[in-house]
Amino acid sequence: MAGSRDRDAAVGGDMDPEEFRREGHRVVDWLADYFAHPERFPVLAQVQPGDLVRALPSRAPEGPESFDAIFDDFTRLVVPGITHWNHPGFFAYFAISGSGPGVLAEMLAAGLNVQAMLWRTSPAATELEEVALGWLRDLMHLPPAFEGVIYDTASVAVLHALAAAREAVIADVRTKGLLGRSDVPRVRVYLSAHTHSSADKSVILLGLGKDALAHIPGDANHAMRVDLLREAIAADRRAGILPLAIIATIGTTSSTAIDPVHEIADLCEAEGIWLHVDAAYAGVMAMLPAWRHAFRGAERADTLVVNPHKWLFTPFDCSVLYCRRMDMLRQAFSLVAEYLKTTEAAPVRNLMDTGIQLGRRFRALKLWMVLRYFGASGIRQRLEAHVELARMFAGWVDSTQGWERLAPVPFSVVCFRHHPAGMDDEAVLESHNAAIMDAVNASGEAFLSHTKLDGRYVLRLAIGNIRTEERHVRRVWALLTEAAAALPSM
């Protein structure tokens, strides 16, 4: 026996459970302090390219190191290179937000190290995904015909949605592919000029080619023009080009514009075209009665994506695709090798059948815990508070001389810029506003990003962080106005 113990010790084994307990408490304590005061770090990392690479050894350690030393390097070297998405002054891109229950769920999922490729490789992971996505679907007032599946990101979700559409539209694509086929016409995917770039990437990756993309111009509010969409489809049909899908967005990336999904869904029905709705950011607002009008028609989509990791307080990453044509998704992605075949007493769902990945993380756990911990009412209350803060900020922009708003505020993002009297050249306005943004971002107190709308450089204030309060929005407004006042106005 002693011999076998010696052998086991020589082989290695994991961290001692008592050490894990001790260090685990230390890590949780560190995180609890961090969540209590994320403002003690600058929101935008104030490091230079290469700083961390230079600070770390170029070779992996040959011998073991103590967790103490590793954790010390984490706090001393790694944390300064973190841009703090948890900081209440994070207003850039979409201010995505994790939350305590979500982080604890991630810890449990990592501890269990679940790999949910098959029902039997963790029945609870498969079934919890079904339950949590059913809850979310009902909260968003989507029909039961929608079956959900979790991916990492909306970029991957749209790739799967378009692959399912390709499967539905192009005969035998799974078997015969696309190359060298005289029986396959050119195809088109219609999207707006403001659709997220991940849709373009998916079309490229699916072998349809960039020429298959038809970017339909937007109206004054940056929503897709359905009259132009209709014309484009008719012209394509006359030219023998086959419509493959239309992508409508509720909450575009730049300005959170809302495409007229209801009208687009009518068109899709009349023309027999696959409708994908991108509600990656704003989808959760379908939980609020006052916003339901923005989602009219979404219930008729073939596929719809919503990202709990954006505005549902679920730590990155977690993106949900709802699909009413799961048969097409399975036809595109199911391929069961001998070593993955199973027999169960009753039919089961194997998550590997609905995606490119075989191995899958247990992402449903964090969504389920977040939905339970805050409850639907707690989530609605937080979303409404964010919209209120955005409206308050928009009000300051509207009522302050020298500032202008460049898009409506349907959700929690404000597009605006400083526009001093007499400064009308777009290039000058761009460098003026970029300088304001850089000054604010250098403060470490707030982080903003920009976009362009109709060729004009625009600052974006995105509210979505669970810790953002009125005082943080007041502070960023003060920083913006101070930065603007410090710059030459001509």
Ligand X SMILES: Cc1ncc(COP(=O)(O)O)c(C=O)c1O
CA pair distance 317, 309, nearest whole angstrom: 6
The overall longest dimension of the chain from CA atoms, in Å, is 88
Binding test (CB under 6 A) with ligand X, winner from 97, 307, 354, 433: 307
* Least distance CB 429 / ligand X (angstroms): 25
Does residue 281 bind ligand X (CB under 6 A)?
A: yes
| Chain position carrying tokens 């709802």 | 322
Q: How far is the CB of 317 from ligand X (least distance, A)?
A: 7
The least distance separating ligand X from the CB of residue 152, rounded to whole angstroms, comes to: 7
- C-beta of 115 vs 155, nearer to ligand X: 155
Closer to ligand X by CB, 43 or 320: give it: 320
Instruction: Report the DSSP beta bridge partners of residue 405.
Output: 416
Structure tokens at 58: 């170029």
Candidates 153, 255, 303, 354; binder of ligand X (CB under 6 A) is 153
Round to whole Å and give the CA distance between 308 and 154: 10
Q: What is the rounded distance in angstroms from the CA atom of residue 450 to the CA atom of residue 459?
A: 4
> Residue 278, interface with ligand X (CB under 6 A)?
yes
Q: Which two tokens stand for residue 133?
A: 């996505």
200 vs 219, beta carbon nearer ligand X: 200
- Specify the stretch interacting with ligand X by CB under 6 A; choose among 57-65, 84-92, 275-283, 453-461: 275-283
**What letter does residue 92 receive in the DSSP assignment?**
S
Cis peptide, bond prior to residue 317, ω within 30 of zero: yes
Q: What is the total count of residues that contact ligand X (CB under 6 A)?
A: 15
From the CB of 252, what's the least distance to ligand X, in Å?
6
Among 249, 303, 443, 468, contact with ligand X (rule: CB under 6 A): 249
Asked if 433 touches ligand X (CB under 6 A), the answer is: no
Strand ranges for 175-298 from DSSP E: 187-192, 213-216, 242-249, 274-278
Minimum CB–partner distance for residue 445 and ligand X (Å): 24
Binding flag, residue 253, ligand X (CB under 6 A): yes
Judged by CB under 6 A, does residue 191 bind ligand X?
no
With CB under 6 A as the contact rule, which of the stretches 106-114, 185-193, 247-255, 404-412 interacts with ligand X? Answer: 247-255
The b/e string for 78-103 (b: 16+ C-beta within 10 A; e otherwise) is eeeeeebbbbbbbbbbbbbbbbbbbb
Select 121 or 198, whichever has its Cβ closest to ligand X: 198
Work out which of 83, 115, 155, 357 binds ligand X, going by CB under 6 A: 155
Site for ligand X in 196-215 (CB under 6 A): 196, 198
Restricted to residues 46-85, the positions that interact with ligand X (CB under 6 A) are none
Q: How far apart are CA 297 and CA 266, in angstroms?
A: 8
Binders of ligand X among residues 83 to 102 (CB under 6 A) are: 94
Distance between terminal CA atoms of the chain?
Answer: 85
| Cα 392 to Cα 388: distance, rounded to the nearest angstrom | 6
Cα gap 476→446, rounded to integer Å: 6
By the rule CB under 6 A, 154 interacts with ligand X? yes
153 versus 441: smaller Cβ distance to ligand X: 153
Q: Supply the minimum distance, in Å, between the C-beta of residue 107 and ligand X.
A: 22
Q: Does 192 bind ligand X (CB under 6 A)?
A: no
Residues 112, 124: Cα–Cα separation, whole Å? 12
* 465 binds ligand X, rule: CB under 6 A: no
**Applying CB under 6 A, which part among 19-27, 276-284, 340-348, 461-469 lies near ligand X?**
276-284
Shortest separation between residue 155's beta carbon and ligand X, angstroms: 3
Which of 41, 411 has the CB closer to ligand X?
411
The Cα–Cα gap between 89 and 387 comes to 16
Q: Which residue has the tokens 């219609």?
A: 190
Report which of 187, 196, 194 is spatially closest to residue 216, judged by C-alpha positions: 194
Helix (H, G, I), strand (E, B) or coil at 416: strand
Query: Whole-angstrom Cα distance, residue 83 to residue 263?
Result: 41
Shortest distance, CB of residue 473 to ligand X, whole angstroms? 21
Q: How many residues does the chain have?
A: 490
Backbone φ and ψ for 83, nearest 5 degrees, come out as -90, 125
Q: Which two tokens stand for residue 171?
A: 């005969």
Q: How far is the CB of 486 from ligand X (least distance, A)?
A: 31
> Least distance to ligand X from the beta carbon of 221, Å?
16
Query: Pick from 86, 121, 303, 319: which binds ligand X (CB under 6 A)?
Result: 319
Q: Encoding tokens for residue 449? A: 């990003």
CB of 83 to ligand X, least distance (A): 15
Select from 127, 165, 94 the least CA-distant residue to 331.
165
Distance in Å, CB of 201 to ligand X, minimum? 10
Region from 139-147, 221-229, 251-259, 384-392 binding ligand X, contact rule CB under 6 A: 251-259
Calculated CA dihedral for residues 61, 65, 68, 70, nearest 10 degrees:
20
- Residue among 118 and 298 whose Cβ is closer to ligand X: 298
- Minimum CB separation of residue 94 from ligand X in Å reads 5
> Among residues 392, 401, 374, which one has the least CA distance to residue 461?
392
Measure the CA–CA gap between 340 and 342, rounded to whole angstroms: 6
In this chain, which of 168, 208, 247, 280 binds ligand X, going by CB under 6 A?
A: 280
Q: Which residues would be at the binding site for ligand X (CB under 6 A)?
A: 94, 153-155, 196, 198, 249, 251-253, 278, 280-281, 307, 319
